[in-house]
Amino acid sequence: MADTHPDRITVTGITAHAHHGVYDWEREKGQTFSVDVVLELDTRAAAADDDLERTVNYAELAQGLHGILTGEPVDLLETLAQRMADACLANALVEAVEITVHKPDAELGVPFADVTVAIRRERV
């Protein structure tokens, strides 16, 4: 019987000051963003051989996502999340990814704790 529950690698709270948003002041001043990522992949081969090359190096993953987060500004969190999902799926080992982008300093005009956009993408 096949295992229906994929293995997961999770990194939460990748944080940076970045300049995303639709308003000029967001682009100029910037604000804090953070990202959570959950990768789905089969880690059995890596575990059997104790081999980092047969899994996803989560330090490299975090550095790559941080680079996207601090890179070219975009208007929408949806666009940012999609770019990050695409980067994760570029690794052939990754079967699916969930990205959550947090924008806790967004301007909503009312008190709030956080704004997030979460997407899930699977290898086609």
Closest CA to 117 of 34, 14, 32, 40: 34
End-to-end CA separation in angstroms for the chain: 23
Active site residues: 103
* 3-state secondary structure at position 26: helix
